[in-house]
Structure 1
Amino acid sequence: MDGDTDKDAGDGGNPVKLTHSKAVALMVAVTLMWSIAGVVTRHLEQARSFEVTFWRSLFTLAALLVILPVLQGRAVFASMRQSGRALWISGLCWSVMFTAFMVAILLMPVANVLVTMAAGPLLTALFARVFIGHRIAPRTWAAIGVAGLGIAWMYGSQMAGLPVVGTLVALCVPVAAAINWTVVQHAQRHGHAVDLAPAVLVGAVISVLTTLPLALPFQASAHDLWLLALLGVVQLAIPCVLAVRCGQVLKAPELALLSLLEVIFGILLAWLGAGEEPAAAVLTGGALVIGALVFNELLAFKEQQ
């Protein structure tokens, strides 16, 4: 792609240059790592609810304490103390996403949670319009409407069989994501760039501290701890850091579009690896949500080109 040379020119300070095509391939790998949460959770033996979130966040924290100094040097921790309010708000949003996602996965089918999360980019556009005055293109308004119909179809046809609490918890994930990106965009517009990798670390710390009292008494078996360590390191810490790296090369519409692969991979893995076949309404509603976002992001990318 023609933009590869220009992208690399701005990466002189990075130890490894990342071309556009490599960033796309890396982002696909990131979504595959993100998508294992549902199928792995279904194989837990004794760990439940907030204990699952606590252990995953703790292993994520431990991994990031190793990964970040290796990639950015020990100065990353000193820079966090000097960061503005946006970093800590972003970290709080990450902690909500960490916690709500795992609790929702334990309360509802994986497919329902993932399709609900897919509405995040459209919610971000809406929040950015309301709170920081970003203009929303007519195509995005149309996509928001179609995605809303898709989610209404998915939940409306099976509301009697789904817990209300689970639905509300699942909705916390895209809402927190929308707040997160809106805060980051607002900070950048005012000359305060937010390093999202340390923000993920802050989110892990908050998640560990808030879920610890709710996780007691611990019931996780050794088998569970191995699986939760896998989630903390491979499903969360590593892909989040890699996604931030990809974000330095890929445009926002590309990132949003590629991130949708998590929904597809996650539903397939839960189906093949845990026998969790998605309901027809989920597939139909999910197709509307993903189709609306794909259409919107493709048009946005063409406009940027």
Structure 2
Amino acid sequence: MRHRSAVLLMLLVTLLWSSAGAVSRHLDSARGFEVTFWRSAFNALALTLLLPMLRGRDYWREALPRLRRSPAVLGSGLCWAVMYTAFMLALTMTGVANVLVTMALGPLLTALFARVFLRQRLAPRTWVAIWIASAGIAWMFASEMRAGAHAWLGMGVALAVPVAAASNWTLLQARAGDGATDLLPAVWLGAMLSALATLPLAWPFAASGHDLLLLAGLGVFQLAVPCLIVVRLTRVLPAAEVALLALMEVLLGVLWAWLIAGEAPSPAALLGGVMVLAALIGNELLGAWRRPAAPTSGEMSL
């Protein structure tokens, strides 16, 4: 896969990911842990059916024994579970912009993790892009924090998402060249762990048929499909670039919540979003202009 194709696919992934906030605002009666349970359960069901379609009908018979013996798959599965669970819980506790702004700390954390654990060097322009994006996020964060203690709690839960995401992208990158390790089951494992962990707290169920339809759509098209794509993309794109491109979810998610759910962001959120978008586009344009035909393996040429 060419780099440009991988970038376009990653932008499609962020488009699918960004739908969660707006869709969750149209639920009738499902709240809190029940929202997380149903989304994760539908995600696990979709992956149970999709993976054999992609890898052959005997996929699970061969994959499950390897799954139990692979620390990388278990670690990645735990990261996915934290991401799935914390994200939806945070959305039920605070505004969409608050959650997505907090998640946008992911690129900085991913770059730091890749530098510490993978010994990967980042191009100077990527560090500049990360710090500009982080400054925009900090501006948004300071404004949204005036909403009160409840916003603090929701954003505290949301903070688990970029930490788990940075850990996951770094782990996926470390295993990207290892053809013997199939990390696709980790996406399924994360969904199963998230559903099992939230099931006792979700009972008794209150979701309507309308809620179940929306949550099924989130489980399949907002989680299962894009998460399978992003695992494949980590074989082409460096971890820090995956995390930086994922910032588009922040802007799109706030936009959809504004246009579809009527949840308007503050002026500070809009200004911060412009800074994030400028950093993302600038990094990609400079990368396309300066990228050599064969990047050196020792440096992340983003």
TM-score by length of 1: 0.83
Task: Return the offset for 1:240.
Answer: 1.8
**Alpha carbons of 1:24 and 1:187: their partners in 2 closer, same or farther (altered >3 Å)?**
closer
Q: Structure 1, residues 227-264: CA drift from partner, whole Å, max 9, x if none?
A: 11111112111222233345556676765565343233
Task: Return the offset for 1:287.
Answer: 2.5
Does the 8 Å contact 1:122/1:293 carry over to 2? no
Provide the residue aligned with 2:212 in structure 1. 225
Does the 8 Å contact 2:143/2:269 carry over to 1? no
1:226-241 counterparts in 2 under 5 A?
Answer: 226-241=213-228
Does the 8 Å contact 1:46/1:224 carry over to 2? yes
Does the 8 Å contact 2:169/2:243 carry over to 1? no
Task: Return the offset for 1:203.
Answer: 0.4
Equivalents in 2 of 1:166, 1:32: separation in Å? 23
Provide the residue aligned with 1:82 in structure 2. 66
Provide the residue aligned with 1:179 in structure 2. 167
Task: Return the offset for 1:30.
Answer: 3.0
TM-score by length of 2: 0.84
Equivalents in 2 of 1:122, 1:201: separation in Å? 27
**Alpha carbons of 1:159 and 1:264: their partners in 2 closer, same or farther (altered >3 Å)?**
closer
Equivalents in 1 of 2:81, 2:33: separation in Å? 13
Provide the residue aligned with 2:296 in structure 1. none
Aligned residues: 287
Equivalents in 1 of 2:19, 2:241: separation in Å? 22
Does the 8 Å contact 2:43/2:220 carry over to 1? yes
Equivalents in 2 of 1:27, 1:143: separation in Å? 18
Moved more, 291-300 or 83-92: 291-300
The reply on whether 1:121 has 2:75 as its aligned counterpart is: no
Equivalents in 2 of 1:35, 1:159: separation in Å? 22
Query: Gapped runs of 5+ residues in structure 2?
Result: 294-302
Equivalents in 1 of 2:10, 2:128: separation in Å? 27
Task: Return the offset for 1:267.
Answer: 1.8
1:85-104 counterparts in 2 under 5 A?
Answer: 85-104=71-90
Provide the residue aligned with 1:285 in structure 2. 272
RMSD over aligned Cα, in angstroms?
Answer: 2.6
Task: Return the offset for 1:188.
Answer: 4.4
Task: Return the offset for 1:39.
Answer: 0.9
Does the 8 Å contact 1:122/1:140 carry over to 2? no
Equivalents in 1 of 2:37, 2:203: separation in Å? 10
**Alpha carbons of 1:136 and 1:258: their partners in 2 closer, same or farther (altered >3 Å)?**
closer
1:82-161 counterparts in 2 under 5 A?
Answer: 82-83=66-67, 84-161=70-147
Does the 8 Å contact 2:77/2:188 carry over to 1? yes
**Alpha carbons of 1:146 and 1:21: their partners in 2 closer, same or farther (altered >3 Å)?**
closer
Equivalents in 2 of 1:28, 1:233: separation in Å? 18
Q: Structure 1, residues 131-163: CA drift from partner, whole Å, max 9, x if none?
A: 333234433443343333222211213312042
Provide the residue aligned with 2:259 in structure 1. 272
Does the 8 Å contact 1:50/1:211 carry over to 2? yes
Equivalents in 2 of 1:148, 1:193: separation in Å? 36
Equivalents in 2 of 1:197, 1:239: separation in Å? 12
Equivalents in 1 of 2:134, 2:248: separation in Å? 20
The reply on whether 1:195 has 2:178 as its aligned counterpart is: no
Provide the residue aligned with 1:55 in structure 2. 38
Amino acid at match of 1:143: A
Does the 8 Å contact 2:63/2:185 carry over to 1? no
Q: Structure 1, residues 258-292: CA drift from partner, whole Å, max 9, x if none?
A: 53432332222111111011111111222223433
Provide the residue aligned with 2:192 in structure 1. 205
Equivalents in 2 of 1:127, 1:250: separation in Å? 16
Moved more, 126-135 or 164-173: 126-135
Task: Return the offset for 1:206.
Answer: 0.7
Moved more, 89-98 or 290-299: 290-299
Identical columns (%): 57
Provide the residue aligned with 2:297 in structure 1. none
Task: Return the offset for 1:118.
Answer: 2.8
Equivalents in 2 of 1:194, 1:264: separation in Å? 34
